Structure 1
Amino acid sequence: MISADNTFALLACLLLMVWIGYVSEKTKWGAAMSAPLIILLLSFVVGNLGILPSSAPVYGVVQGIMVPLAIPLLLFSADLRVVFRESRRMVLAFALATLFTVTGALIGAYSIGIGTFEPEIVGILAASYIGGSANFVATAQAVGFSDSSLYSAALTADAIGAIFFLALLMALPAVRFAARRFPANQAAVDSAEEALPAEPTATSAPSEGGVVFALLLSAMVCALGLLIAAWLPVEGMFIIAITVLSLLIANLAPARVKESIEYDYPLGTMFMYVFFATIGLGADLGSMVGAAIPIVLFLVVLVLVHIILLVWLGARFRFTLAEMMIASSACILGPAAAAALAASRGWRHLVTPGMLVGVLGYAVATFIGITLTNLLR
């Protein structure tokens, strides 16, 4: 109903879905689902009903500009004392999540017949569900997967599987059997929260200068990150660079600089929510006919195995449910989604660890995907 080149109308629709997510989260049922899941499901429905296009230039602006800007905004308040205390556990939780994905991929490969290119597709999607879409592309190139129709089907299935995974993941805290298996570890959460500055409240309106300075600083970090990525052309270097630079500002910047930044965390969260809306719109059911259906079934098996192992082994290794949810989110959805999930749930102490292990996924996912492909061949 709205063409892909109608930029302002599409932007208004994206922001409308984000607003609905914020408002719905204040209701009892919305709080159980969370704003990111509401936004994802809403955008998935309107995209597949043909109300909004599945791809448009403005989506690229959101994913290419708003998401990088959001990362520093979410990290400017990070305290490395908390990061070091939490990241050690998060790395172990991420290693478990990676193992869950690999196990799910192997079980899915032997349960669902994908076809001639099964080894390649399994390896590519496993890499995507450990590091993200960048690893999807890198692994596909590495294993020589060039069938255009299957490539498109796999990309569509990848988005559908991500939505299915996030829906199950966000439902876990409401599932009494799953939640009771995990230790509360409330003392660690409380101490972590004490080390972080409080979020702005309705009574503490931010100044215009503080908001603009936060955006300015974030843009400068991204610009410098691009330069570093150009000098060091390593997979995921842009994300690594802006993460490190943001943490340096958060921990080494003069007090006057840190005090000048206002409303950075809520602004970064809002940008991430717009990003979630574009993910749902990109999941096109129309291209899933035929070849894509077995791929979707494979991903359903992978995700179900991942979630089952998360509840079983995550609890046995004494991780909290929050830690396992963020580690799994960083693994399957990437660092940006992990940060958005942590922000939406109020787990501010897990935003930076989630980002860091998500970047680790960028580094290892392609190698794991290639290994799986060769193993299945």
Structure 2
Amino acid sequence: MENSLVQPDDVWILWAFLAGWAAISIYLEQNYKWASKFSGAIIALVGAMILANVGVIPLESPVYDTVWEYVVPLAIPLLLFQANIRKIWSESGRLLMLFFLSAAGTVAGAIIGFFLLKDVVPGLDQVGAMMTGSYIGGGVNFAALSAKFEAPGELVSSAVVADNLMMALYFFILMALPAIGFFTKRFKTPYMDERAEAGGNNSDQTDAASYWGRKEMSLQDIGLAVGTSFGLVAASFFIADWFAELIPAGEDVNILGNVLNGILGDGYLMLTTLTMIAVTLFPRYFEGIRGAQEIGTYLIYIFFVVIGIPASIVLIFQNAPLLLVFVFIVVMSNMIVSFVLGRVFKFSLEEVIVASNANIGGPTTAAAMAIAKGWTKLVVPILLVGTLGYIVGNYIGTGIGVWFSGF
């Protein structure tokens, strides 16, 4: 860390890098077709990983902690402004079913991996919780659950490296699948067929640039989006702290008390739940705020940069190579269950790919992949379904963590 070109206490330089590299990743995705195929999220993550591993930026810094503690909580409500439960069910019910089938694969993989490796990997109960949440909604859940279970910094860093390496590899696999005959012969491909019939994207713009085109947005929209997000975060963490003090927890308390304390006293669970309730009760207000998705997505791009930074490939092979085995088991279980059940229930190849992606990487990476592939009709449904993963993944990850901690 101290041998890096940029030092951990170079606050403004590191913030310039985080914000700037996130912006560059978005620019590349929207202006170059090769970058659009990989997605800006992967560029943000891999670029940070490379710079950290060659010693340009430090592996740890208080700046990164600020992103986890403040940027991520602010991004969650902004990305959930469209998470009206009634709307999700009416518009994306079929894809929602596939998302939950894929999530079952994550849970199965976490359980299998835990019982195979729990005696040889210290802290696997915490890692199991983090990876279960992360692979049912993306890196936002990883941040929430690592904070909730107070996982040691070295364990979190090793888990992040294993997660990022496997996630990047899996995204490359998912991007390649539509070109492999084994899959196209066994699944229907309506979105690919429609795009082929339309002649593909013949414009100079990338699909990402077309989707994220300029939209009418006012100062009022920005003020309401950011102000509402701050309000939801403040209220959620205040209520969660109140419940955490009110409901006793510990070794002397029964299981129900510990579970209630873990659910109601968790700031991230309260934040996702309170936002979902507010959006469902006041849909016209939240749907009327323009720009929330853009602001939230940019904040998540900064988060993608940060989760790539601690990814010291040398350290993962030195300190925790078995964590790679664990995340491999979880990801492969998700993939197998997604594609087998997707085939059984006659989902299209494109639906299976984006549903699995939404589990492993979250709605942002799934939408980016759908945009990159030109499957524009899947973008809004997978964003709606994927945002629900923030909520569901946190609850399931919490339950898995509490269960695993008993062994």
TM-score band by shorter chain is: 0.7 to 0.9
AA aligned to 2:176 is A
Separation in structure 2 between the aligned mates of residue 341 and residue 277 of structure 1, nearest angstrom:
17
1:279 Cα offset (Å): 0.7
CA 362–87 in structure 1, closer or farther in 2 if over 3 Å, else same = farther
Give me the CA root mean square deviation.
Answer: 3.7
> Residue 109 of structure 2 contacts residue 331 of structure 2 at CA under 8 Å; is this kept in 1?
yes
AA aligned to 1:6 is D
Q: Is 1:356–2:388 an aligned residue pair?
A: yes
C-alpha deviations, 1:67-117, integer Å up to 9, x for none? 222233333345655312256445533432333234434665688xx5844
Separation in structure 2 between the aligned mates of residue 140 and residue 205 of structure 1, nearest angstrom:
42
Identity level (%) = 26
What's the counterpart of residue 338 of structure 1? 363
Matching residue within 17, 28, 31 for 2:21: 17
AA aligned to 1:43 is A
Matching residue within 196, 221, 225 for 1:214: 225
1:199 Cα offset (Å): 7.0
> Could you tell me the TM-score, scaled by structure 1's length?
0.76
Q: Is 1:241–2:274 an aligned residue pair?
A: yes
1:34 Cα offset (Å): 0.6
Matching residue within 286, 297, 309 for 1:269: 297
Q: After the TM superposition, which residues 218-233 of structure 1 pair with which residues of structure 2 at under 5 Å, given as runs?
A: 218-233=229-244
What's the counterpart of residue 35 of structure 1? 40
What's the counterpart of residue 195 of structure 1? none
What's the counterpart of residue 126 of structure 1? 128
CA 166–314 in structure 1, closer or farther in 2 if over 3 Å, else same = farther
> Could you tell me the TM-score, scaled by structure 2's length?
0.71
Matching residue within 334, 342, 345 for 1:314: 342
Separation in structure 2 between the aligned mates of residue 140 and residue 224 of structure 1, nearest angstrom:
22
C-alpha deviations, 1:234-272, integer Å up to 9, x for none? 2422222233324444x143xxx854x332222221111
> Residue 97 of structure 1 contacts residue 328 of structure 1 at CA under 8 Å; is this kept in 2?
yes
Separation in structure 1 between the aligned mates of residue 354 and residue 175 of structure 2, nearest angstrom:
13
C-alpha deviations, 1:117-145, integer Å up to 9, x for none? 44x6554433222214344566688xxxx
1:156 Cα offset (Å): 0.9
AA aligned to 1:50 is G
> Residue 41 of structure 1 contacts residue 280 of structure 1 at CA under 8 Å; is this kept in 2?
yes
AA aligned to 1:309 is V
> Residue 14 of structure 1 contacts residue 274 of structure 1 at CA under 8 Å; is this kept in 2?
yes
> Residue 7 of structure 2 contacts residue 58 of structure 2 at CA under 8 Å; is this kept in 1?
yes
Separation in structure 2 between the aligned mates of residue 290 and residue 131 of structure 1, nearest angstrom:
26
Matching residue within 9, 12, 19 for 1:8: 12
C-alpha deviations, 1:171-209, integer Å up to 9, x for none? 4143223763544566xxxxxxxxxxx97743x553334
1:33 Cα offset (Å): 0.8
> Residue 272 of structure 2 contacts residue 390 of structure 2 at CA under 8 Å; is this kept in 1?
no
DSSP-derived class of the 2:133 partner: coil
AA aligned to 1:317 is F
Task: Structure 2: state its 5+ residue gaps.
Answer: 135-141, 192-209, 245-263, 372-378
> Residue 11 of structure 2 contacts residue 63 of structure 2 at CA under 8 Å; is this kept in 1?
yes
Separation in structure 1 between the aligned mates of residue 159 and residue 281 of structure 2, nearest angstrom:
38
AA aligned to 1:131 is G
CA 215–230 in structure 1, closer or farther in 2 if over 3 Å, else same = same
DSSP-derived class of the 1:54 partner: coil
Q: After the TM superposition, which residues 98-117 of structure 1 pair with which residues of structure 2 at under 5 Å, given as runs?
A: 98-105=103-110, 108=113, 116-117=119-120
Q: After the TM superposition, which residues 280-291 of structure 1 pair with which residues of structure 2 at under 5 Å, given as runs?
A: 280-291=308-319
1:12 Cα offset (Å): 1.1
1:10 Cα offset (Å): 0.7
Matching residue within 156, 159, 166 for 2:158: 156
CA 136–214 in structure 1, closer or farther in 2 if over 3 Å, else same = closer
Count of aligned pairs between the two proteins: 347
